[in-house]
Amino acid sequence: MNQYPLWRYLLIVLVIGTGALYALPNLYGTDPALQVSARRAEPVDEALLTKISTALAAADIATKDIKLEENRILVRFDSTQSREQARELVLETAGDERYIVALNLASATPQWLRDLGGKPMYMGLDLRGGVHFLMEVDMDAVHVQTEERFVSELRTAFREAKIRYRSIIRDGTGGVRVSFLNDAMKARGLTLISADYADLSAADNDVTTDTTLTISEALLEDTRRTALKQNLTTLRNRVNEFGVAEPVIQQQGTSRIVVQLPGVEDTAEAKKILGATATLEFRMVDLDGDVEAAVDGRVPVNSKLFYERNGSPVLTEKRVMLTGEFIIDASSGIEQQSGSPAVFITLDGKGARLFSRATREQIGKPMAVVYIEQRKGRAIEEVINVATIRDELSKRFQITGLDSTDEARTLALLLRAGALAAPIEIIEERTVGPSLGQENIDQGLQSVLIGMAGVLLFMAFYYKVFGLVANIALVTNLVLIVALLSLLQATLTLPGIAGIVLTVGMAVDANVLIFQRIREELANGNSPQMSINSGYDKALSTIADANITTLIAAIVLFSFGTGPIKGFAVTLSLGIATSMFTAITGTRAAVNLIYGGRRLTKLSI
């Protein structure tokens, strides 16, 4: 009685061993590091790696490790002083305009453990320190933009169809007000709207030639969602300026965005980057001007000199054909005829009209796409593409001549995320200093250790050998929780630590129920072996009921709660799963090894 088959013991050992292995990375800490990544589609390759490594060696700055990984170069140092000395040198070597050189903390996990997928769990803002912003997207502005888009498109459509009207204006309540010249024009206009604009419905007025066109709620809702997603993309793109490890940029509700930047303390600099502006300009290449003379400083009056990312000069006309403010969508793909990478662009009504007029007489001539970004108080301007106009360009067109599909994806992202789709306002901001973060870590760790120490002493004193078994299970449970958090790459926060502390109590509670049941069986005159078997079997339903109800509560907290509450729910849920394993299966296996198959007269309980 009270014996497990060998395979069950081996399975338990395998689970515990795997858990210990993947919890191990959290013991190695982090190394001060510099992260070098491309601002856009710049190459991050072995050539750049060699260039940086040579410059550091020449300056006699010792590095712990330098390697190329995941489209970035990571340079590790033994101290923050070495990192500070190297930062300006690496920035100068790589080039400020082309690459981002950011301070970082890199995991010191050994390579063999990283090869097995071992990674430490992330630390949240409240543990590592940094800045927190809560931003609200101006949804009223989204509605205004949608109304203005329809006003522009209707004016173009009516003009092309020779439908005369007095005015087309925004209604201000989610629609467009159209005043036709007469009833005949009104009838033709409504027919056109019915055929071409499924998202507009006319509230006709028989008395006048005016009509109100209401925008469908489905389109408005889709526009709001799109604006929110585009702002999320824009903010993620801009956060790359910091090179922050594990930033949190997520939607909250239907109109808010949470941005958390661990390790960043300067809120002014953070707000400057998050609120930065970026745009595009389409200009015709000046074929008549002398590029070499322009490089020497003799730029023609009606021309302007730009440079491509590789440093090649491009002389363009001063007149701007189109700016990026008219772009409403951009996606990357493959051009069907040539099979080369391309970016497909969609303009709004006004932009389509302007671009069509501007390119109609420029077929066969090269056009430059200029990217302009405000950075550190100055405008960064560079030509990201020069392509020949093959046909009159209107609402939809494509940009080709790109080097790779990666560059096409990057360019599409820049076109979509170069500017915010709708204004955002910072409604809450706070800073968590690194010293407070370290204090939180120390206090959280202390609370776990004190709680565990108290529980371990009580169990060892009150339940003797069985208590020691429960203590081993409790430590194993904590290791498994850390392993799961690391495998899932979950972010540990203060509420998460609270969830772990609660789990410690719940884990030992299951053993208390089992051990008390064994004591009752012994008091009723049952044999020790029968008491052990009955204690585990009869307590199981009670333990399962208690844990299932707690798990349901944790799932509800995760489903409806926000950041901190979700962190608590995650660790609590994982703790419930691991405690069921260690407190029931784990302790039963240990007790079976100690007492199973033996003739007993008493138990140390």
3-state helix/strand/coil string of 254-320:
CCEEEEEEECCCCHHHHHHHHCCCEEEEEEEECCCCCHHHHHCCCCCCCEEEEEECCCCEEEEECCC
What's the pLDDT score for residue 315? 92
d(CA 77, CA 87): 11
d(CA 133, CA 428): 6
The 3-state DSSP class for residue 406 equals helix
CATH architecture of the domain 276-419 equals 2-Layer Sandwich (3.30)
What's the pLDDT score for residue 14? 92
For the record, the structure tokens of 520 come out as: 């009752």
Query: How many CB atoms neighbour CB 333 within 10 A?
Result: 14
For domain 6-24+433-595, the question of CATH label 1.20.1640.10 is answered with yes
d(CA 466, CA 361): 90
H/E segment holding residue 497: helix 494-523
Report the CATH fold assignment for 30-108: Alpha-Beta Plaits (3.30.70)
Q: Give how far the C-alpha of residue 61 lies from the chain's centroid of Cα atoms, to the nearest Å.
A: 34
d(CA 488, CA 17): 17
The 3-state DSSP class for residue 158 equals helix
d(CA 530, CA 510): 19
DSSP secondary-structure letter at 121? P
Across the 605 residues of the chain, what is the mean pLDDT of every consecutive 10-residue run? 81 91 86 75 78 88 84 83 84 74 76 85 74 83 81 84 87 81 88 86 72 85 84 74 65 85 62 60 87 88 84 87 74 76 81 83 85 62 80 78 67 61 76 64 75 82 86 88 86 79 78 84 83 82 82 83 74 86 85 79 77
Query: What 3 state SS string does 336-396 have?
Result: CCCCCEEEEEEECHHHHHHHHHHHCCCCCCEEEEEEEEEECCEEEEEEEEEEECCCCCCCE
d(CA 26, CA 15): 18
Tell me if 6-24+433-595 shares its fold with 30-108. Answer: no
What are the residue boundaries of the structural domains of the chain, listed by start?
6-24+433-595, 30-108, 140-219, 276-419
Considering the entire predicted model, what is its pTM?
A: 0.58
What's the pLDDT score for residue 21? 92
d(CA 469, CA 456): 10
What's the pLDDT score for residue 106? 75
What's the pLDDT score for residue 586? 86
Cβ atoms 247, 262 nearer than 8 A: yes
Q: Which of 96, 152, 100 is nearest to 350 (CA)?
A: 152
What's the pLDDT score for residue 343? 80
